[in-house]
Amino acid sequence: MTDAPDQPIPPSDLVPVTIEEEMRSSYLAYAMSVIVSRALPDVRDGLKPVHRRILYAMRESGFTADKPYRKSARAVGDVMGKYHPHGDASIYDAMVRMAQHWSMRVKLIDGQGNFGSVDGDSPAAMRYTEARLAKAASFLLDDIDRDTVDFQPNYDESEHEPKVLPASFPNLLINGATGIAVGMATNIPTHNPGEVIDATLAMIENPDITLEELMKIIPGPDFPTGGLILGRSGIRNAFATGRGSVIIRAKAEVEEIRKDRKAIVVTEIPYQVNKATLQERIAELVRSKQVEGISDIRDESDRSGMRVVIEIKREATPEVVLNQLYRFTQLQTSFGVNMLALNGGQPQLMGLREVLSAFIAFREEVILRRARFDLAKARDRGHILVGLVIAVANIDEVIRLIRAAPDAATARESLMAAQWDAAEVEPLLALIHDEGNVVIDGQVRLTEAQARGILELRLQRLTGLEREKIQNELTEVAAKINELLAIIGSHIRRMEVMREEILIARAEIATPRMTEITDYEGDQTDESLIEPGLMVVTITRDGFIKRTPLEVFRAQNRGGRGRTAAGRRGDDIVVRSFNAHTHQWVLFFSSGGKAYREKVWRLPEASPTAKGRALVNLLPDLGDDSITAVLPLPQDEELWESLHLVFGTASGGVRRNRLSDFRNIRASGLIAMKLDEGDRLIGVATCREGQDVFLATRKARCIRFQITDETLRVFAGRDSSGVRGIKLAEGDEVNSLCVLNHVDATVEERQLYLRAAAAKRRAENAAGEDEAEDATAPEAEDEVATAGATLSPERFAELEAGEEILLTVSDGGFGRRSSAYDYRVSGRAGQGISNMTFSSSKRGSEVVATLPVLPGTDVMLVTNAGRLIRVPVDQVRIMSRQASGVTVLRLDGTEVVTSVFPVLEDDSEGGDAAPDEENGTENA
């Protein structure tokens, strides 16, 4: 067995390295290559290498704005073959973007053909499209052949390409840039070209100009797609630090497209938003019911501009729908500004002043290098002209030397060896600052360049006119040299030249601002878009709900015919109506004892004759239950802490809870009260300790008892069934619940006040007041004989100030008002007292509702036929609690009153109208 061979010795040119070091160095090299050579723009010309190469290659190929269009594939091929070491797809994509007016604030490529669309459509293949440089591109490329910028070898060192273009306007700010490098990214918005150039001129004039002064010139970005920028704080942060967030919102208006139908019309969308994707997102939100109220969406955009029409349903509020679209779609986006660019070959985060300063410094360098290049050319030309002047002045001797020379080289040497009189040319040499010719003892020799120029001189230049032209040209060259020397030697002069050239660019590329900037303090809530106002909310037996502006209904005389309040579906009837403010919360209580919460403005708005919207669609978790009680809550939520809720059921049960127990109600509802089988909620009211609960039944019984911890305690839970409020007779049920203020008064004081108040009213209404048939109804069964007793004026005034009036209406359309003093306070769970006496069948057989009313207000009555009348309560007489009352609404046939509710504010259209001659009532 032989020993194993030794390990091979590595060649001397191999150096062992660790894998960590190799990965680190290789990754850093790759990262810097991406940062510098691909992803980040240069602050000087605002271009990435691929865009710079495209523009330079098209200029070199002659695809300028004054030439015909050429195939895009030709330009892409030139760029790929000479300068860009990547595929044709990346080159063509970059070229297409520079031709899209919705991507660039100032287009640099003039395209012909399909270059894509704002809908995200792909451009046609490069073999089908044509392109040339736009006029604005010339301001980036001018003077590039006058040694204004440095060049570098291309990827195979067969060509040379510019490291930067000699841009004459701040392209980085005007057209912006977007790029993702390794470990860093840039996102620079576009700005208005006229504003950017004006700010540049202002900084040239005053290098110490403040950011606030610059922002008066450039208020913010200006996107090619228009739209609105909300707020200025994000803009200021971006301009100051290079980082900030700008909120962009689409420009949309609400238009009436046909009768009773409105639509949201979008004419401008945020920058870099795909219009087709935006419409798909809106449709998705509608299907998922995340945004409701949209019936149709269509794109009506054409060559004249963008127009996306979003039709709104009749019952929806367009402003609310639009606000929801802002919240859930790209109709409102946030543009994260990150002004990172290459400055001196290094990535640098720059604000507005830094970007403008870097451009001005670069542009000054371009002007200086161009002046030096032009000076060299001018001096070369002046040097040749001096030689021509010498030749013309000594033409005979020049011809002799040339004729005597056997060849051109000898002739050139002869001319250079000869000495010529310097008297005529010495002033010219001083004029053009030419040091090529040396004057010694009044003699001067020709240089090789001058000798070549003389040999190339055409004989026609020897005429007198041509000699004069040489002299004039020499004078012009001298003036140009002096101007160039002034530019080279003076910073102020260079700034003047820069200003003149930037103004020329401004005249070509400046356009009006497209993006509007508005003040903005934060997201608008849907509620803030709703105009405050009173609404009449109507609910039908079959579960349809709607809201109608209160001003639609106007007050009528007592006994009027009313107006149609709701369209009915089959035998559907209105069972509940109330008025509330648009910004109020409304609690809905279901027959199953659950509570739901909704704002009034979110209820569907409809005309008085419309059916409204099904509650099962508004409250999707309602199930088979029906809404049996609705409670508008106080607008001031601070009052909720001191308020309680009192519940009343049809079986006579009551319960008290804190209102704050119902502050947070989820969409699926919250258990409000545990009900026995067959029972249901008939009313819920807010109350405070010490007030009175009033319950009234269909069979004209009622009870009033005080709210105390002993009488009706506060229940800790929401799932209890409560306690008995009134003991009902067989077949009877509670249909009204309200809360009254408790007044400490004896039975005697109450009876004395009722008699005195009745006498006062009779005296006030003696003239022309009709007496009701049953105005002498029996007194209350608990009345005490008070003959000869009287109340003091002070006590009467005190009781009068605290008096509450209850309105009782029968299903026959009769009603009367009664003082709350006529209803004694008793203990809970009793049988109650009589509430109304029906003297005949036409006056009805059941009580529809008993509710408190205020003088000067109105009430509304709704029938099972869908008719509604609004009546001032002052037209309903105040009578004893057992009286059957007066006619409030005249009914037809089997029509009966089904609902009564108060109007808290008088919005009538102008008082009473003359009664109709035929039926004695006013027609609605």
Number of Cβ atoms within 10 Å of the Cβ of 915: 15
The active-site residue, picked from 27, 56, 92, 128, is 128
Burial class (CB in 10 A: 0-12, 13-18, 19+), 223: buried
CB 391 within 8 A of CB 400: no
Report the C-alpha gap between 103 and 914 in whole angstroms: 68
The C-alpha angle 270, 273, 279, rounded to 5 degrees, equals: 105
Q: Three-state DSSP class for 26?
A: helix
Does the annotation count 92 as an active-site position?
no
The C-alpha angle 753, 758, 760, rounded to 5 degrees, equals: 95
Report the C-alpha gap between 613 and 543 in whole angstroms: 8
Closest alpha carbon to 611 in 551, 570, 555? 570
Report the C-alpha gap between 636 and 236 in whole angstroms: 38
CA 561 to chain CA centroid, Å, is: 48
Residue with token string 């610059």: 214
What one-character-per-residue DSSP string does 735-786 give?
EEEEEE------HHHHHHHHHHHHHHHHHHTTTTPPPPTTTTPPPPTT----
CB 672 within 8 A of CB 717: no
Secondary structure letter of residue 36 according to DSSP: I
Report the C-alpha gap between 633 and 617 in whole angstroms: 22
Report the C-alpha gap between 469 and 62 in whole angstroms: 33
- H helix or E strand, kind and range, residue 692: strand 692-697
CB 174 within 8 A of CB 479: no
Note the residue count of the chain.
924
Residue with token string 């040319």: 425
Secondary structure letter of residue 38 according to DSSP: I
CB 388 within 8 A of CB 451: no
User: How far are the Cα atoms of 121, 148, 370 from residue 303, in angstroms, in the given order?
Assistant: 16, 41, 44
Closest alpha carbon to 805 in 744, 857, 860? 857
Q: Which residues are part of the catalytic machinery? A: 128
